[in-house]
Chain A
Amino acid sequence: MGNEEEQLKSLPLDDLHKAAGARFGGFAGWSMPITYPLGVMKEHLHARESAGLFDISHMQLFDVSGPDAARLLSRACPLDAEALQSGQSKYTFFLKEQAGILDDLIVTRLGVEHFMVVANAGNAAADEAHLRGVAIDFDCKIDALDRVFLAIQGPQAADVLRKAGITGTELAFMHGFEPKPGWFMSRSGYTGEDGFEIGLPALDARELVNKLFEDERVAWIGLAARDSLRLEAGLCLHGHDITPEFDPVDAGLIWAIGKPVREKAEFIGATALLAKLASGSSRKRVGLKPDGRQPVRSDTILIDADGRHVGLVTSGGFGPSAGHPVAMGYVDKDILAASTPIFAEVRGNRIPVHIHPLPFTPHRYHKG
């Protein structure tokens, strides 16, 4: 343990989190604030009711620019980057040739030849190598940016930013821009709430954080509540709910790949993905609601009444807003079609588990 901890990278604002009384834990190679003194339950509810501030600087921003930037992204992702309007963001992926999901990403068009790609912390190095590998055939430049990345989420987020004098609160959901040099801001998030994500240099970030905390509605929210918020919102965590073993058809994420993109089939993984679309998946990603209060965690096997394996939980815990355990996982389609009762076995308890629509708590995005 000691060695692992020593190797963890510290966030640029680490001292601010320490001063705020955070408890830290390792995640994707980073020492991350897991909870603050408020505690995961209150932090979670705060983000749903007010304005929660998250330090997500472990995530990686890639600036992609040049004459072929759009063509590169349309090759590397199942995405029509040329068709994106300036300022428009799109949820997309890097896929393997076999269509397994290497990572999920948000791509924002910032200009004719200019895009921002936001990637997951755990995949940042592999993503960069992958993108640079694809880019060999294209005339463009990829910069892995060194930024603090903050998310402010919740129904009061826009008003808090407006009062702090931050421009960009007029953005619609899934849109982004560069408010000033070195800054990137989008109306997006990972909680199901309205909110913004802002990438900016560390000195500017300190100034912004200080300004934001002049507003009583703002509280730091740790990684534990970030996880329960996104799970209630039905959003996938790469490495759990989606992995290179699952393709977008299995994961029910084909909505993120427009029909014209599928028809053009220019992206890496297109052949395999189209074949999978034609054959269909034998499993489906679903929301799961265990009976009672006992959480059913990630990696729990789902069984039918005869004990036959019929699925797997990929994320699970307690939903503070839902008020009951919440989970997500994959279930065999024939089981879903027949509405066969399913169970999770947790320490000898056989817990009935019900298929539940996602999200568990309604999204409250600002569609503009």
Chain B
Amino acid sequence: MATTYFTEDHEWVRVEGDIATVGITDHAQDQLGDLVFVQLPDIGTSLSKGDAAVVVESVKAASDVYAPLDGEVTEVNEATASDPALVNSAATSDGWLWKMKLSNTEQLAGLLDEAGYKAIIG
């Protein structure tokens, strides 16, 4: 049973057990505009909450995507690197960015639920 959380930095986090899948929200991709480059982390990278894990670049600018939780990268979505537009067209599904094994699931309590996130973006 997966639970989806959100961050104030416009990421979604789908958690199953101690594995989290991370992507950017539809609102975020809409704000960024057409993406042309996605730089994914190496598998095995150890991330602390708040670390810049991924860089997404639109035609105009580069933006960091931050690790929402502590953990280690277990998988990356290479499809987004070869076709960055996938993040625009399917931000919350096929456009996921990376998976990580969480080292501290207690941090989940600090994330937002969908209603909380929707309240932020208005």
| Residue positions of A touching B, CB distance < 8 A | 34-35, 39-42, 44, 224-225, 227-228, 293-295, 297, 317-318, 320, 325, 347, 349
Given A39-B34, A295-B36, check contact A318 B59 (CB 8 Å).
yes
Tell yes or no: B43 within 8 A of A by CB: no
Partner pick for B33 among A40, A293, A325, CB 8 A cutoff: A40
Residues 19-46 of B contacting A (Cβ, < 8 Å):
33-34, 36-37, 39
Q: 15 A-B residue contacts at CB 8 Å?
A: A39-B33, A40-B60, A41-B34, A224-B33, A224-B59, A225-B59, A228-B59, A293-B36, A294-B37, A294-B39, A297-B62, A317-B60, A318-B37, A347-B39, A349-B39
Give A295 to B61 CA distance when docked, in angstroms.
9
> Does the CB pair A40–B62 fall under 8 Å?
no
* Residue with the highest number of chain A CB atoms closer than 10 Å, among B34, B61, B81, B84: B34
Q: Is B57 an interface residue (CB 8 A)?
A: yes
- B48 interfacial by beta-carbon distance below 8 Å: no
B120 contacts A by Cβ under 8 Å: no
* Residues in chain B near residue A293, CB distance under 8 A: 36-37, 81, 84
- B39 & A224 in contact (Cβ 8 Å cutoff): no
- Taking a contact as CB atoms under 8 Å apart, the answer to whether A295 and B57 are in contact is yes
A35 and B33 form a contact (CB under 8 A) = yes
B29 to chain A, nearest CB (A): 11
Sorting the interface of chain B by its residue count into under 10, 10 to 19, 20 to 34 or 35 or more gives: 10 to 19
Distance in angstroms from A313 CB to nearest chain B CB is 14
Cα A325 to Cα B55 with chains together (Å): 16
Min CB–CB distance B18 → chain A (angstroms): 29
Other-chain contact of B58, A40, A42, A44, A347 (Cβ < 8 Å): A40
Q: How far is the CA of A294 from the CA of B56 in the complex (A)?
A: 10
Set of chain B residues within 8 Å of A349, measured between Cβ atoms: 39
User: Whole-angstrom distance from the CB of A165 to the nearest CB of chain B?
Assistant: 35
Q: Judge whether B37 and A40 touch: CB under 8 Å.
A: no
- In the bound complex, what is the Cα–Cα distance between A347 and B39 (angstroms)? 10
Which residues of A have CB within 8 Å of B81?
A: 293
Chain A residues near B59 (CB, 8 Å)?
A: 40-41, 44, 224-225, 228, 317-318, 320
* Contact status of A40 and B55, CB under 8 A, knowing A224-B60, A297-B62, A317-B60: no
Q: B38: nearest residue on chain A (CB-CB)?
A: A293
Q: Contact partner of B55 among A41, A297, A320, A347, CB < 8 A?
A: A347
Q: Which of B36, B57, B62 has the most CB of A within 10 A?
A: B36
- How far, in angstroms, from A317 to B60 measured CA to CA in the complex? 6
CA distance A320 to B59 in the complex (A): 8
Cβ-closest chain B residue relative to A292: B37
Note all chain B residues with C-beta closer than 8 A to A39. Answer: 33-34
Residue of chain B at shortest CB distance from A297: B62
Q: How far is the CA of A318 from the CA of B62 in the complex (A)?
A: 11
Tell me how far the C-beta of A297 lies from the nearest C-beta in chain B, rounded to whole angstroms.
Answer: 7
